[in-house]
Copies of this chain bind each other. A is one copy, B any other.
Amino acid sequence: MKKIAVLGYGVVGSGTVEILYNHKESIEKKIGESYEVKYILDLRDFPDSPYADKFTKSFDDIVNDKEVDIVVEVLGGVKFAYPYVKASLEAGKSVVTSNKELVAAYGAELLKIAREKDVNFFFEASVGGGIPIIRPLNQCLSANKIDEIAGILNGTTNFILTKMIKEGMGFDEALKIAQDLGYAEKDPTADVEGHDTCRKICILSALAFGKHVYPDNIHTEGITKITLEDVKYCESIGSVIKLIGYASEKDGKVTIMTCPAVIDGDSQLAGVNDVFNAILVRGDATGDVVFYGKGAGKLPTASAVVSDVIIAAKEKSTTRMMSWEDSEQNFIVPESEISNSFYVRANASKADVEKLFGNVRYLSRENAPSGEVAFITDVINEKTFAEKCSNIDVIGSIRVMNY
């Protein structure tokens, strides 16, 4: 019989316990063995919970109990999660987590400990919530050389952008609705400034290209500067604005960034609306493959956690596929050298624009004030683009991407 401990009884933790109990019979059939949730770690009291006898406030109870095979970490943050997960792995227990902050910060180290202890460290739920992406990327697409990954990885910002695009709502109003609906936190910084997306694309990049990318090393830009005027200009050419995390690899160098992007309306990512997420993986053999679904929420995320628990319970030793290495960050292409084409909105004459950028594609919107111009440049690197922009009165700019 497998013994499981769940660290944290918040939204995802309670969902995980719920699924482990409600689907016990079918899950045990899949594992080929019975199991029990032996501990639930939480500092709060849950005297009325049907699982009241499982609760403990002491992590030591869990880490010192040799019977515990699998530890599920759904605490969030890194303050407790990191030492608890590390100690669990070192004690020879497999760990399953939904914690993207933890994986993005300490993934390489924790995977290394798991390998050394011949146990597993799984984190399917850390990216894309209920969307299967980590394992498909590692197993099903393993015969490919992955060239590129691009994803709508944050439901909150996608909800806000959808309100702006579909209903012409301003950013502040859309954010307020997202908060009222519980999609956005009171302090929405991690979502709207792109940090959440950044952590997730770091994890996907590490998996696809084999080297840990630390979130602090990549350009991260949120959606707070996107205006309804930008939305309208893009609409005039059938495009939409999405917050994209992307990573590509060529000759051992990784280009990686989190930023809003103008993408074609026919793209598979353009039709991803509301709180949904989608991840596009471009492989040399498969071409584009897209995974779509709910990127957050209690049961979707918990179901991804439990699917990892099932595999951890079945696997006798560490999974060689699911791994990457820590290394110096010199394989990351410096931001200044990254090239894209850009959408630009500026107060400038067309003559000035063309003198700077050469041939551009002009966009239009209703009721644009005279003197305002919006256009799309050719592909140009970040440094050159910034230099050129310093010569005109740029109101805003967004990268244009080919997904």
Contacts and interface: CB of A to CB of B under 8 A. Distances in A.
Interface stretch (A86-94, A283-291, A372-380): A283-291
Contacts of A292: 268, 288-292
A291 B294 contact: no
B143 A139 contact: no
A79 interface: no
Contacts of A19: 143, 285
Contact of A140 (B31, B287, B304, B320): B304
Tier of interface size on chain A: 35 or more
Contact of A310 (B131, B142, B286): B142
A242 to B, nearest CB: 15
B130 A287 contact: yes
A238 to B, nearest CB: 13
A26 B136 contact: no
B286 A289 contact: no
Contacts of A291: 289-292
A145 interface: yes
Interface string A18-35: 010001001100111000
16 contacts: A15-B285, A23-B143, A26-B145, A132-B136, A132-B140, A135-B135, A135-B139, A135-B140, A136-B136, A140-B304, A142-B310, A284-B299, A285-B299, A285-B303, A286-B300, A290-B291
Counting from the closest, the 5 A-B pairs by CB-CB distance are A132-B140, A143-B306, A285-B303, A130-B286, A289-B293
